Structure 1
Amino acid sequence: MLINLIKFGCCLGVMSILIVSCEPEKGNYLFANGETDYRIMISQNADSLHIKSAEELQSYLKLISNIDFPIVNDTSPLEGSFIFIGENRYFKKFDFDYDKSILEDDGFQILTYKNHLIFLGGEEKGILYGVFSFLEDYLNCRKYTSTASIIPKRNDFFVEDINVKYSPIIKYRTLYMPDNYFQSYSDWHKLKSNRDMDRDWGMGVHTFSRLVPPETYFELHPEYFSEINGKRVPDAQLCLSNKEVFNIVLSELKDRIKKKPNAKYWPVDQNDTRGPCQCAECRDLEVRYGGHSGALISFVNSIATKFPDKIITTLAYSYSQSAPKNILPGKNVLIFLCSYDCNRSRPIFTDVRSDIFRNDFRDWRKLTDNIMIWDYIVQFANLISPFPNFHVLKPNLEYFVSQNVNMVFEQGSGKQFSEFNELRSYVIAKLLWNPNCNIENIIDDFIFGYYGDAGIYIKKYIATMHESLINSMGSLKIWSNPWRANKSYLTPALLKKYSDLFDKAESAVEKEPEFLNRVRRARLPLEFAILQIAKWNVTEELSYFENVNDQFVVKKKFQERLNNFVKLCRENGIEQLSEIRGYIDDYENSVKNFMTKGMLYHSALNKPVKSLTQVSDVYTVNGVNALTDGFLGEEYSLTHWLEFKSGTMDVIINMEHPILIDSVSTNFLRNISNSIGFPTSVELLTSNDGEKFNQIEIVKSEIDSADKENSIKTFKFFSDGKVAKFIRIKAINTKMNIKNKSMDDMAANFTVSCDEIILN
Structure 2
Amino acid sequence: MMKDTNYRLSLFIVVAVFLISSCMAQQLDIVRDRKAETEIVISEHPSVLERKAAQVLQDYVKRITGAELAIFSSPSGTKKHVVYIGNTFYQEAMGKKVVLGREGFEIIVREGQIYLTGGSGKGLLYGVYELIEKQFGARKYDQGPAWVPKRSNLSLPLNFHFCYEPPLRYRESYYPASADSEYLDWHHLHRFEDLWGLWGHSFFKIIPPEKYFRQHPEFFAFTNGKRSATQLCLTNQGVQKIALDYFRRAIADHPDAVYWSIAPMDGRGGCTCDRCRKVDQEEGGPQGTLIRFVNGVAAQFPDKYFTTLAYGYTAEAPKITRPSSNVYVMLSTIDATRERGLGDNPTAASFRRQLNDWSKISSNIFVWDYTTQFTAYLSPFPMYDHYQGNIAFMHQHGVKGVFEHGSGHTLGDMSAYASYVQAKSLWNPEVDPIEVENDFLEGYYGLAAKSIKKYLNQLLNARNTSRSTLDIYGNPILSRRGYLGPEKMTMYKDLVDDGRKAVTGDPKLLSRVNLIALGLEYASLEQAKAYGEHPLGFLSKKDANQWMVNPNWMKRIDLFLDSALRGGAIELAEVNGSLEQYRKQWLTLLNKPYLPSLLQGVHPFFKPLFLQDFPANGKTTLNDGLSGTIDYSYNWLLFDGKEVEITFPFSRESQPAQVHLNFLLDPAHYLFLPDEVKVESSNDNVSYGRIGTHKIDSSLIREGPKCYPVSFGLKTQPARFLKVKLSFSQEFPAWFEGSRHRKPLFAIDEIRASD
Task: Give the TM-score taking structure 1 as reference length.
Answer: 0.92
Match of 1:608 in 2: 603
1:180 aligns with 2:178: yes
8 Å contact kept, 2:90–2:98: no
Determine the structure 2 residue equivalent to 1:66.
66
- Tell me if structure 1 keeps the 8 A contact 2:644–2:727: yes
Question: What amino acid does structure 1 have at the position aligned with 2:614?
Answer: Y
| Higher deviation after alignment, 285-294 or 689-698 | 689-698
Q: Output aligned runs, 1:552-591, within 5 Å.
A: 552-556=547-551, 558-591=553-586
For 1:109-162, what per-residue CA distance to the aligned partner results, in whole angstroms no more than 9, with x for missing partners? 112112222211112211111111111011110111121421111111232231
1:199/1:262 contact within 8 Å kept: no
State the Cα deviation string for residues 350-374 of structure 1 (Å, max 9, x = none): 1222111111111111111111111
Q: Which residue of 2 aligns with 1:727?
A: 722
Are the counterparts in 2 of residues 577 and 583 from structure 1 also a CA contact under 8 Å?
A: yes
Cα distance change on mapping 1:448 and 1:148 into 2, 3 Å: farther
Q: Equivalent residue of 1:486, what SS? A: helix
Partner of 1:530: 524
- Cα distance in 1 for residues equivalent to 2:293 and 2:254: 23
Mean alpha-carbon deviation: is it higher for 501-510 or for 240-249? 240-249
| Partner residue, 1:34 | 34
Aligned-residue Cα RMSD (Å) equals: 2.4
Question: Structure 1's 358 and 491: CA in aligned 2 closer, same or farther, altered over 3 A?
Answer: same
Q: C-alpha separation between the residues in 2 aligned to 1:105 and 1:708?
A: 49
Specify the alignment match of 1:312 in structure 2.
Answer: 306
Deviations 1:225-250 (A, max 9, x none): 2222212222x111223232222222
Mean alpha-carbon deviation: is it higher for 386-395 or for 635-644?
635-644
Please name the residue that 2:740 is paired with.
745
Whole-Å separation in 2 of the counterparts to 1:586 and 1:731? 32
User: Of 372, 380, 384, which residue of structure 1 is paired with 2:378?
Assistant: 384
**Conserved 8 A contact 1:680-1:737:** no
The structure-2 alpha-carbon separation of the partners of 1:249 and 1:734, relative to structure 1 and needing over 3 Å to count, comes to farther
Equivalent residue, structure 1, for 2:5: none
Structural mapping, 1:558-707, within 5 Å: 558-597=553-592, 601-636=596-631, 638-646=633-641, 648-703=643-698
What residue identity is the alignment partner of 1:452?
A: G
Summarize deviations over 1:49-106 as a string: whole Å, max 9, x none. Answer: 01111111111111111112110112755973111112345853457xx7622x2121
Alignment check: 8 A CA contact 2:65 2:151 kept:
yes
User: Does residue 213 of structure 2 align to residue 218 of structure 1?
Assistant: yes
Q: Pick closer, same or farther for the CA change 1:736–1:475 going to 2, 3 Å.
A: closer
Aligned to 1:509: 503
1:158 aligns with 2:152: no
Q: CA deviation at 1:624?
A: 3.8
- Give secondary structure in 2 for the equivalent of 1:245: helix
Matching residue of 1:323: 317
Residue among 539, 546, 568 paired with 2:540: 546
Taking the aligned partners of 2:536 and 2:465, their CA distance within structure 1 comes to 23
Distance 1:142 1:400 in 2: 27
Map 1:175-574 to 2 at 5 A: 175-193=173-191, 197-234=192-229, 236-537=230-531, 540-550=534-544, 551-556=546-551, 558-574=553-569
Q: For 2:155, give the aligned amino acid.
A: F
| CA distance in 2: counterparts of 1:78 and 1:363, whole angstroms | 62
Which residue type is aligned with residue 314 of structure 1? T
Secondary structure, counterpart of 1:590 in structure 2: helix
CA contact (8 A) 1:304 1:330 kept: yes
Q: Does 1:168 align with 2:166?
A: yes
Contact 1:452 1:509 (C-alpha < 8 Å) held by counterparts: yes
Verify: 1:120 aligned to 2:117, yes or no.
Answer: yes
Q: Identity of counterpart residues, as a percentage?
A: 30
Aligned CA distance change for structure 1 residues 704 and 517 (closer, same or farther; 3 Å)? farther
Q: For the Cα contact (< 8 Å) 1:624–1:642, is it kept in 2?
A: no
- Aligned partners of 1:587 and 1:227: how far apart in 2? 39
SS for the counterpart of 1:742 is: coil
More displaced stretch, 361-370 vs 442-451 = 442-451
Is the deviation greater in 637-646 or in 58-67? 637-646
Q: Determine if contact 1:598/1:633 at 8 Å carries over to the other structure.
A: no
- Report the Cα distance in structure 1 between the residues aligned to 2:577 and 2:703, rounded to whole angstroms: 15
Q: By how many angstroms is 1:688 displaced?
A: 2.8
Q: 1:177 is matched by which residue type in structure 2? A: Y
Number of residue equivalences:
740
Specify the alignment match of 1:3 in structure 2.
none
Match of 2:34, as an amino acid? Answer: G
1:580 deviation in Å? 1.9
Paired amino acid for 1:628: N
Q: 1:214, CA displacement in angstroms?
A: 1.3
When residues 345 and 89 of structure 1 are mapped into structure 2, their CA distance, relative to the original with a 3 A threshold, is closer
d(CA) in 1 for partners of 2:255, 2:183: 27
Change (3 A) 1:149 1:706: farther
Matched AA of 2:115: I
Separation in 2, partners of 1:14, 1:734: 65
More deviation, 247-256/175-184:
247-256
Residue deviations 1:178-210, cap 9 Å, x none? 1112211111111113xxx33432212111112
Please give the per-residue CA displacement for 1:235-288, whole angstroms capped at 9, x wherever unaligned.
x11122323222222222223223223323221110012121222332222211
Q: 1:108 aligns with which of 92, 105, 108?
A: 105
> CA, structure 1 residues 629+638, in 2 after alignment: closer, same or farther (shift >3 Å)?
same
User: Residue 649 of structure 1 contacts residue 752 of structure 1 at CA under 8 Å; is this kept in 2?
Assistant: no
Cα 1:355–1:18 change in 2 (3 A) is: farther
Q: Deviations over 1:12-45 (max 9, x none)?
A: x898347363651222322122312211111113
Distance 1:665 1:358 in 2: 48
Match of 1:134 in 2: 131
- Give the distance between the partners of 1:557 and 1:79, measured in 2 at CA: 69
- Are the equivalent residues in 2 in contact too, given 1:175–1:412 (CA < 8 A)? yes
Secondary structure of residue in 1 paired with 2:656: strand
Relative to structure 2, which stretch is displaced further, 337-346 or 607-616? Answer: 607-616
Distance, in Å, in 2 between the alignment partners of 1:206 and 1:647 is: 36
| Aligned-partner SS, 1:336 | strand
Compute the displacement of 1:581 (Å). 2.1
Alpha-carbon contact 1:82-1:116 (below 8 Å) kept: yes
How far residue 661 of structure 1 moved from its aligned partner, in angstroms, is: 1.1
CA–CA separation in structure 1 for the residues paired with 2:255 and 2:64: 43
- The whole-number CA distance in structure 2 between the counterparts of 1:53 and 1:697 is 78
Query: Is residue 37 of structure 2 the alignment partner of residue 55 of structure 1?
Result: no
Verify the 8 A CA contact 1:648 1:752 in the aligned structure 2: no
When structure 1 is superposed on structure 2, of 541-550 and 439-448 the one drifting more is 541-550
SS across alignment from 2:438: helix
TM-score (structure 2 length as normaliser): 0.93
Are the counterparts in 1 of residues 171 and 401 from structure 2 also a CA contact under 8 Å? yes
CA distance in 2, matches of 1:367, 1:598: 61
CA distance in 1, matches of 2:218, 2:671: 29
The reply to whether residue 19 of structure 1 matches residue 14 of structure 2 is yes
Matched, 1:713 2:711: no
Contact 1:647/1:751 (<8 A) preserved: no
Shift of 1:535: 2.6
Deviation readout 1:657-703 (Å, 9 max, x if unpaired) = 43111211101111222211223332223233333433333223335
- Of stretches 335-344 and 618-627 in structure 1, the one that deviates more from structure 2 is 618-627
Find the residue that maps to 1:226 and give its secondary structure: strand
Q: Does 1:143 align with 2:140?
A: yes
CA distance in 2: counterparts of 1:391 and 1:93, whole angstroms: 46
Cα distance change, pair 539–664 in 1 and its aligned pair in 2 (3 A): closer
**What is the DSSP-based 3-state SS (H/G/I as helix, E as strand, rest coil) of the residue aligned with 1:19?**
helix
User: Offset of 1:621 from its aligned partner?
Assistant: 1.7
Check if 1:45 corresponds to 2:45.
yes
Gaps of 5+ in 2: 1-7
